[in-house]
Amino acid sequence: MMLSDPIFTTLDPDQRRAVLHDGGPLLLVAGAGSGKTRAIVARIVRLLRDGVPARSILGITFTNRAAGEMRERVAKALVPDGDPSAGDAVARSFPGTSRAAHVPWLGTFHAFGAILLRRHGDRIGLSRRFVIYDTRDQHDVLKRILKDLNVDEKKFPPAKFGWLIERAKRDGVSVEQAALSAGWRVVTTAGQVGKAYDDALAEAGAVDFTDLIRLPVTLLRGAPDVLAAVRSEVRHLLVDEFQDVDGAQAELTELLAQGADSFCAVGDEDQSIYGWRGASAAPMLSFEGRHPGSKVIHLSTNYRSRAAILSVAGALIAKNRSRREKKITPAREGGERPSMSVYADQEAEAQEVAAAVAREIRAGVAPTEIAVFYRVNAQSRAVEDALRMLRIPYVLRGALSFYERAAVRDAVSYLKWFLHPDDAVSLKRLLKFPRRGVGEVTLEKSRAAARREGIPPSGALSRIPNLAPLFSFRALWLAELPQMSPAEALHALLSGAGYLDALEASAREPGEGREGAGREEDLEHVRELLRVAEAFTGEGEDGLLEFLEKVTLAAEEAGVEESKAVRLMTLHNAKGLEFDVVFLVGLEDGLLPHSRSVDSPHEIEEERRLFYVGLTRARERVFLSLVRRRNLFGSYRDTVPSRFLYDLPASLVRRTDGALPESPPGRGLFGGAGPGHRVTVHREPRYEEENPSARPRKVRHPVFGEGQVESVQGEGKDQKIIARFPVYGLKKILVRAVEMEFLD
């Protein structure tokens, strides 16, 4: 290895130690802005320069965007000067293609799981032609199941059952057990829905996103020869964002890491913010115990944020107990202290934030380098209105991505169904355009006939006269598939099935919405999808399946339009990004920390980490704000400052107005003594405050079941309680209108 190479000379001492670590397990504790991607890329390049075969290096991260960035950086370091075409080939390289032997594999957990299942899924009864159902596909399946079971979708939305099924799969328990654990009272119904969902996926030859992790674990556990073969291939394992692995991902990592020549886990428990989806920093915090003889290296220099911002962030996160002690040294000294403002309501807050954004833009800050963060999506409305009034362009991160566009999903549905004609979800979508005269009643009769005769659904569907031409063309297409590239196969499919002709004809017609001009946009989206397919050079079914996985996995990650606009997003969506200027709004108890978290010390710590993530996205300036009154649930309520603000020493934050809540003198930003200090601001009384000696109360509602009382409004005949129920969420109930039982 040549340490004079620029990729190594730019490393700091901590990063260099990580790159030069030889064998055995390595935990790289990488704080915000510490240059972890630079270290990971340099470590991969170092292994390659030392003669390690590229095919024996496996790098796993959580998003396609992060994986793509790593691939590009590795490609840039490896490709000889003057050969840009080679760089493109390396950057696009993916397992299953002829180029895979020349570069390491870098991708997501889900993409790696899909590869394992394509190669070895037959060992657990899975066809290599399986399709991947994303969140929308899952919703469509559950919607049909609830209708078949006569379950009221308004009371039990498909998304609730989707969450429960995901939890059951992730935790390795039955849906009934997951329902009991979550406090559901409809356990039997949950079990019926879960079984029907499994049957629907099996019938369609489909897996969902949770299956892409769960099934590979099942496969490797139950097939020692497959496990041995995979381990012989994967000699050097790198896992990024290790603080965000869930139980199944942690187990998959352990199965791959055992016996590897090197295992490098990279993460920061201070940025673990996805507990609501099963993620946990526990594997990271217990790393040394599970990997005896492991090395721990801290990347201790922050290259992103000014020292003034890091001082505030450090004071905040130091209050968490579930973390390693660490010292972060700013590479960029000085900077403005973050400011703190209190406004009358969210409209005033939004107007002042928009005005401040305008000032930043006039001062020369690019709109793309300005972001507004909030805890929940509903907070964006006031900010959007204020920005529009000032004609400041903005984009919402999490808005509709290219792969979520209707025409793109149509085209992908055709591809899924042609590969697996028992996929009921894709069939239902492709029958919508162009119309083929086959409705839900006909489909249900066909499904019933298939069940009676004991044949696959496609066997009965092929007898429907209006579908016969589609089945005939499918047979011809499959016969030609081995000689076609993914782009050729997709174009032939969409053309032969009549989709492109119908789209072009519709685009020529006047109309609104998805007709006329709207169809012109749809047509361009499909053409762009064909251009995406051209990047995949494999032939036949393998190349097409590779393309399909890419598209399906990318669709699950919402994209952000690249435009000259301010970014608006939730704190969860801010993870992994950075901006010159950050506005963090709505710093009130009930929002941050969220009301769902206030009774759990563990969840309070995660909410504090969320605040920390928001602060550490900023390079130059941070503006914090809260309001005295906020309109929630249709009426204004007095608020209290976030308890986290009491963690911030007053000397580190600029208070920009004199209208802050009064409180006894102390050390905190608001003069309080800490998170438990109460300020003299009126708010809705919590039950515990009206009855100091009482424990938190539970209530049994005749419809909603058992719930936790969170607060009480009014008194006498107008008294209302606000309670949270496991299935139904937060409900406001007039006490005199319902017969309820209060539980001790």
**Residue at 69: amino acid letter:** E
- Give 743's DSSP letter: E
Q: Is 324 a catalytic residue?
A: no
φ/ψ bin of 125: left (φ > 0), alpha (ψ from -120 to 50), beta (otherwise) = left
Residue 161 CA to residue 139 CA, distance in Å, equals: 9
Single out the catalytic residue among 61, 108, 271, 552.
271
Provide the greatest CA pair distance for the chain. 82
Rounded to 5°, the CA angle 294-300-301 comes to: 145
**Sheet of strand 618-627, all strands in order from the earlier edge strand to the far edge:** 394-396, 566-570, 370-374, 579-584, 618-627, 339-343, 654-655
Which value, in Å, is the radius of gyration of the alpha carbons in the chain? 28
Q: Is 243 a catalytic residue?
A: no
Single out the catalytic residue among 166, 241, 251, 522.
241
Q: Which secondary-structure segment (H or E) carries 70?
A: helix 64-78
Query: For residue 721, what are the β-bridge partners?
Result: 712, 733
Residue 212 CA to residue 359 CA, distance in Å, equals: 47
Single out the catalytic residue among 617, 621, 628, 630.
617
Q: Is 271 a catalytic residue?
A: yes
Q: Is 423 a catalytic residue?
A: no
Residue 673 CA to residue 573 CA, distance in Å, equals: 32
Show the DSSP H helices in 513-579 as ranges. 517-533, 540-555, 571-574
Q: Is 88 a catalytic residue?
A: no
Single out the catalytic residue among 5, 12, 17, 37.
37
Residues 6+ apart with CB under 8 A from 333: 306, 307
Q: Are 710 and 724 in contact (CB under 8 A)?
A: yes
Residues 6+ apart with CB under 8 A from 424: 141, 144, 200, 203, 204, 443, 447, 457
Q: What are residue 81's phi and psi, to 5 degrees? A: -60, 140
Q: Is 617 a catalytic residue?
A: yes
Residue 656 CA to residue 659 CA, distance in Å, equals: 9
Single out the catalytic residue among 14, 166, 211, 240.
240
Residue 664 CA to residue 662 CA, distance in Å, equals: 7
| 3-state per-residue secondary structure call for 138-193 | HHHHHHHHHHHCCCCCCCCCHHHHHHHHHHHHHHCCCHHHHHHHCCCCCHHHHHHH
Single out the catalytic residue among 15, 16, 36, 189.
36
Q: Which residues have a catalytic role annotated?
A: 36-37, 240-241, 271, 617
